[in-house]
Structure 1
Amino acid sequence: MTQAEVSPWWRRRGVMPAAVTVWVLVIAGLGYYSYRTDAPTVRDHRPLDRAVPVAETAYGTVLAKLAEGPGDGGVRPVIVLESPRIEPGCRVTTARDGAELTRRATVHITPEDTAPLIERVAAAGALPAGYRSWLGRDAGGVTNSFRVDAGDFIGLRGIVEEPGVLRVSLETGCRPVDGPLPAVAEPAPDPMSAGRAEGVLAALGAQGSRQSAASVPCPAGGALTTTLVAGFPERAPALADVLTPRAGLVLTSGEKRFAYSDGAREGVAVEVADGGEIAVAATTSC
């Protein structure tokens, strides 16, 4: 009797490939059934449409604390909000698409108050129970960043970009989307704030060619709002020379950036883009 004649049945030609194929189909079927019927994972518990309100609350809570300033006689900052962005195309799992919400803000503060402001936000008891925060320091031991875990996989981060300028971001991470992408309401530009911004822009030799607005709810009610007006000047202005005489309390001053506080809750920030466009943001804080 030959070797082929005494081989076990599972070694005979055609049996092994067929068995492997059946096994692959079984695994694939179980995986699809699990995907369609199993209880959601932790991240799946709150799809994006239900995570957005939670994220907005967390964002407003942290920014409201920043808006209070560093305390101990420190200056209150000017916070400039960017419009929220909902970005599709990420993957919750290998078989499921999702989307995420991101938000950005720029906090203008005097350079000497930057580290105390960050430390105050991350201090014990500064944020609601359930929030966790961490500080980051540069090579010289100076506080230059913070992180906040607001729960439900919602995170915020603040990083000092340059003295007096703190960039704050919020991310929800990739979330499942049940139906159309959720909308985040964007307010119409406030006429009074737009008028203030247009006045600054005119002083810099430009006319507003576009407007936008953004807001975030404050924990105690109301909203922190930013109205932005932008345009191109005939020639590049010297920001400090033009704006210092009309400014309240100057926070940051540079060739392409100028910010000043215009009262307890109001402020103006000016940025010049690389292409020469001047953006003037008028903000009302919590």
Structure 2
Amino acid sequence: MGTRRALLELGPETFAAEARQRLGLGVQPVWDMVALMEEEGIFVVEAPFESNNLFGAFTYSQEIGSCVLINTHCTKGRQTTTAAHEYCHSLKDREMVKAIVCGRHNENEEVERYAYAFARHFLMPREGVLQVLDDLGSLSGGIDEKTVIHLRWHFRVSYSVALLHLMQLGFVKRSDYDRLKDIGSVWSLDRRLGYNPDEDRKEELKQDEEPLRRPRPLVELAVRSYENERITLSRFAEVMGIDRVAAADFLEEVGVPLRLSGQEEMVGESRLA
């Protein structure tokens, strides 16, 4: 127990390095985070959600263990980062955060910032980044948008995440970061450099399809998050794949009181800003 407590107090880079060492990953890229999590006994649900704000979710219970949701209506690079992010929650936060919906609405919360930093370091270890930059001749010749593209495809992350990580590691100055983040079409540059951007495309939503049947751990996560005022009714409906009316009916059926419109607005301002 003492060892686990000490690990939980580590910074995200060191914590990620400890996790990679335990798994025997060295500096090699992890292209299939879902397979890794499933091998670790984590229950993973992959499904498309029509939302630009919902990336994933995590819940934990003693009976079921860790359960993770990945929104596949995001690019493959985003999905990989989301999976590593949720993996951090499973390793570090399962005793503190029993349920959390992850997206743009709460990305500035401390627990989320840590998980995002962990994800970057877990997917792109410092030594692995150094190796790629050295192979590209970028350590002495400077880093440009082509370098970022090669790095992103080596680790299978998004261009924005690869560039942010380079800045956080000190390989790119803030001024260069601001210049490199606006390069127009990333996929056009992918293609020019010999990569297939179709491999990074998100899963499209299917029309006239029955709503996805949510597994019990995910339903529990959504209900608990609404009950604890971490998400609004609209966000609950998104996670469940139903409209607001059906979401309200569901919550009433399971005995969760609905919030008044004023209370919903307060949650939206405090939690979803």
TM-score using structure 1 length: 0.27
Instruction: Answer 1 or 2: higher relative contact order, Cα 8 Å, separation at least 6.
Output: 2
Higher helix share: 2
Structure having the higher Rg: 1
Higher strand share: 1
